[in-house]
Every structure is written in structure tokens, then in C-alpha cells.
Structure 1
Amino acid sequence: MNIGVHIPEYLPDCELVASEDLTRDPAFWLAHVLLTMGDPGESAEPYGVDTSAYDEMVDRLSDPEQPWPVFRVCCDGGHTVYAVYANWEDENNVDFFIRHPKWGRLGHLGQRGADEAGPGLSWTELLALATSTQEDCDGLTHPSERLLLLLPMLGDADMPSEARDIVARALSHCGITAGAASGLAAILLGEQALVSGPRWTSTDDNPIAVCSSAYSPRQVPLALGITPDQAEALASALSGPSPGKW
């Protein structure tokens, strides 16, 4: 049974439903990365995904007649990152944001789809959120799934050499054919190779890094207006302990 999700600060008239059950199907992961970062019309077969299953998943993720699918990543300090497939009658977006129940606001990471905004995460932040371990929480728990869910928000000029292998292993874990995972990872990370890509810096006034991109909601500190203690807790959740070897 699908369970409704209530996010008080999000669009109040939209029906949201927890949809982590869809992630058991490799078709979801291929659809997610191609809808948000690639070409959704690309053939699914080379990646080991049945074409009909892929087409059905794309239809489900973009259907305005059904409740909007929500995917969650719980992280340190009681924070939760959300990816919402926002399906209006005339356009589709995937909204990414982080929330804490004590904030009274959302920290917007960005969007993919008809209304593009981003990036919303540095590589360090992406790994911290993917590897953050939480007990008894709703949402995705495996690091590979968490990494791929939030990958569309990545934008960072300072990428480590092992990034492609990490993403490829995550794709393989989620059902993409091992032989095709590395090539797909290279495509998804292609724009990260640009030296002029987004830079992330923190200031003495706020511990949460801001992004140099003119298109990123994080040109200002994330969840602007939260208290200094809340900002410190959020910065800690985004930096996290060293994840070690993936």
C-alpha cells in the first residue's frame, strides 16, 4: 500500500506518495538518471533494462493523474532530503530539497526538468549524504541508491579521480549492466570535467558552503534564515564523517 507523505512547507494542495518501492526495479534507476541528466529517449536495452519496463516507469514517474512520487534520504541530525517528481498537466520537474522539522522552511537544492535550477550539492556533500547511516528512518538506506537519487544535483569543478568508478559501482548495484555502467557514469559526469564548473566556498558568517553558479539556489546559504545552531547542524550533516573507501 502506498503511504502518503506530508511536507507542510511544500505545495499544500499536491498529493504526495512515498515511492521507494519503485527503486527495486532497475528501470527506475535508468529512468531517473536519464530523465534528469541524460536523454530519456535513449534505448534501455544496452543497460540491461527491458524496454517495456523502462517505458512504463517513465510513464509512472511523469503521470499528472497520479499522486506525485516522493523519494527520501534521511541523514544526520534529523534532516531529510527529498526528491519529488512534480507532475503538472503542462510540465514535469523533479524538485530536490532538504528539510528539518524544526525549521519551518525548506532548503532548496534545485530542480531538473522543465524548470532547471542547480547545482545543489558538491561532491563532498553528495558522498556525505549517501553514506550517512540512520536507524529506523523512512526512505532509501543503501549508499548506492542514495547516491544515484541525489546525483542530478551534483555540480562541482573539484572532482576526485575516483568519481567515475564510484558512480559506475552505484549504477551496477542498482541493476545497470556492469559492462555499460562505466560508460553511463562517464556520460552523467561529463560536465563535471569542466575546469570552469561550479565552485563551493564557505564564509566566516555561515558554515554552509555556497555555489558559484548563477543558476544555483545555493548562491545564498542553504535554508537561509535558520538559527546559527541549526546552520551548524546542517553543515555537519553535509560534511559528515569521512566515508572512507566506497
Structure 2
Amino acid sequence: MVMARHWYSSAPVVDGLPLLDEPGFWAAHLVDLGEEVPPEAFGVDAADAGAMLERLHDKSAWPTFTVPLEGGFSIVVHYNSGEEYTSTDYFLLSPGSADAVLASTDQDRIGPGPCWPELAAVRHAPDGAEGVADPHARLLLLLPVLGDSVIPAEAVDLVSAALLAYGAPKDCEALARRLLVGHPMWGAQPWSFDEDGRSWICDGNHSCRQTPIGDHLPLRCGLGGGRGGLFATPHWRRHHGLRAEAAQRLAVAAQDLPLALTAGWRRQQAERAGSRPPNRPPPSTPTRPSAST
């Protein structure tokens, strides 16, 4: 059973932030996604990866990581070594309201947590926020709870870039594809967009995202939807069943919503746009991005 977050206050929790730059961390943190993948694929040796795995599973020191979002919201990642085996719990923290479980690798296997658009949008931290701020680290830290059957080519590029930033060999594209197939506890799942709740929905057997997260948390928490320019993207409209007219209404509404993901998504769109003039729209008939696994 997933441990309620307030119980962690009496657990041997330690700040995990210093671990992110240590050898073997990412090979250990992503081990469940890459079964039979040697640590050398991450650019580290087996001894470093094994030593880090022991630290992450240390019953006397449970690492925790905070991924700050806009508006005071955050995602907190807790390693929990209080049972026979170590599990990882992912919580969405909301100012002034109850914390919510996004995903957990506990025996209850709750997941997936985010879909790809949500994960891509939280890569960038708010200015001056404390916690995990590096975009590559934020992406890789939350990658274990991704579970999306629609993975665009940009996802492979972003994960590859993140792996390279932390020492993986240049030819790490195959590893990136492997890491994007979803945690073995729940795998890749289809998502749809609930127009009324303005939230992404996943009906997987182990998902806690079967109802709009906005029903339980303020919409501005970010994981409730409202990604501005994303709604007008033909690829995501097509694959998630969103009509063009409804997408346009949501895009307009999103301009006035202080959502946690909005700023991150806009930064991502700006990166994509490159030198394109700000008033020039993207191509009206883009090719369908894909990533074979």
C-alpha cells in the first residue's frame, strides 16, 4: 500500500539532490526501465551503478527529490525502503490542498503518472525555484512514471540529449527508445483529453488518472491540462481525439490560466520555433512524428 506522504516526516528522509551528479545515479534510477541494459550504456561501470543502487535502497536514508512547478506546485519523488523491497512514490503537492499520488512502484503499482505532453512541459523549472532545476535531470527523474502509447520523435531526441548530458555515449538513441516504452508495471497506455475537465485521462488498469485531476486539485496545478499552443498541434489533436474547434477554445482559454505547465510549454514551443518569426504559424500539415520501439 502506498505510504501517505505525511508519514514520510517520521521516516529517515534525506535530500537526494546531491546524488544527481554522482556516477551511476541514472543507471540505478532508471534500472526498472532498462532490464538487461548494461550500466555501460549509460556511460558508467557496473560497480558505480551497483553502489548507487545500494544507496538508493538504504533503509537508513531514503532519498527524496523535489521538482518545482509554477504557482508553488511541485512533484516530489520519494524512495521508500521501509518494506522488504524499495519502491518509489511520486506525489503532486498543491498549495493549500491535499497532496495527490501520481504514481508508485509499490506493490499496488499505481501508474502511469504523466503522459508525454505533460512530462515534456515540466522540463523547465520556474525562475529561482529550489529543487531539481536542470531540464535534463527533471526529464530523467520523472521518466520512470511516464506511460504513453503515443511517443513522438522529439521525445527520443530529448531523452537522448538528457542522457548525453549525464555522460551516456553518443550512440544512446536505442537506449532512449527503450526508456520510453513505459514502466513494466503498467507499460505504455493510451490517453485521451477530457474537454469538460480540461485534463488528460488514462484508463489503464493501474492508473490514478482515470478521472480529471482537476476534480481533486486546482486546475492551475498544471497536470490538469491547459498547454496553450499544444492544443492547436494537429499531431496531438489527431492522436488524442481533440476536435480542432475545441482545441482552439482551450488554447485561447489557456492564455489566461496560471497553469504550472504553461510557462514550461511556451519555453518548449519557443525552442522548437527557432528562428521562425513570432507571428508566423507552424506548417498546417506537419508530418506525423513517430518513434518505433
TM-score of the superposed pair, with normalisation by structure 1: 0.82
The answer to which structure, 1 or 2, has the higher relative contact order (CA under 8 A, 6+ apart) is 1
The 3-state SS of whatever aligns with 2:30 is helix
2:179 paired with 1:188 = yes
Find the partner of 1:86 among 80, 84, 108: 80
Deviations 1:189-239 (A, max 9, x none): 2359xxx832132241x223221212111112337534xxx2244332245
- Structure 2 distance, partners of 1:218, 1:10, is 23
Residue pairs, 1:23-34, within 5 angstroms = 23-34=20-31
The aligned counterpart of 1:162 is: 154
Check 1:115–1:27 CA distance in 2 against 1; reply closer, same or farther (3 A cut).
farther
Q: 1:218 aligns to what SS in structure 2?
A: coil
1: CA distance, partners of 2:182 / 2:221: 31
Q: Deviations over 1:57-90 (max 9, x none)?
A: 00000111x2210011101111111111111241
Q: Is the 8 A contact 1:27 1:54 kept in 2?
A: yes
1:22 to 19, 22, 32: 19
Matched position secondary structure for 2:173? helix
Deviation of the 1:17 alpha carbon: 1.5
Which residue does the alignment assign to 1:58? 53
C-alpha distance 239-214 of structure 1, shift in aligned 2 (>3 A): farther
Which sections of structure 1, spanning at least 5 residues, go unmatched? 1-6
Corresponding residue for residue 101 of structure 2: 108
> Does structure 1 conserve the Cα–Cα contact (< 8 Å) formed by 2:116 and 2:151?
yes
User: Which residue type is aligned with residue 59 of structure 1?
Assistant: E
Other-structure match for 2:71? 77
Question: Are 2:205 and 1:209 aligned?
Answer: no
Aligned counterpart, 1:237: 260
Report whether the alignment pairs 1:37 with 2:25: no
CA displacement 1:155-191 (0-9 Å, x = unmatched): 1222212211211111111222222x21211111235
1:121 aligns with 2:114: yes
Provide the secondary structure at the position in 2 that maps to 1:84: strand
Question: Is the contact between residue 107 and residue 224 of structure 1 (CA under 8 Å) also seen in structure 2?
Answer: no
Structure-2 separation of matches of 1:191 and 1:135:
30
Work out whether residues 77 and 89 of structure 2, in 8 Å CA contact, stay in contact via their aligned partners in 1: yes
CA 1:214–1:168 in 2, change beyond 3 Å: closer, same or farther?
A: same
Q: How many residues align?
A: 227
Given the alignment of the two structures, is residue 148 of structure 1 paired with residue 143 of structure 2, yes or no?
Answer: no
Q: For 1:53 and 1:8, locate their aligned partners in 2 and report how far apart those are by CA, in whole Å.
A: 30
C-alpha spacing 1:12/1:222, structure 2 compared with 1 (3 Å): farther
Structure 2 CA distance for aligned equivalents of residues 200 and 174 of structure 1:
33
Distance in structure 1 (CA, Å) of the matches to 2:214 and 2:79 = 21
2:216 matched to which residue of 1? 225
Structure 2-normalised TM-score? Answer: 0.70
Report the structure number with the largest CA radius of gyration: 2
Q: Do the aligned partners of 1:207 and 1:232 also contact (CA within 8 Å) in 2?
A: no
Work out whether residues 115 and 146 of structure 2, in 8 Å CA contact, stay in contact via their aligned partners in 1. yes
Kindly provide the amino acid, as one letter, of the partner of residue 125 in structure 1: E
Report the AA paired with residue 127 of structure 2: E
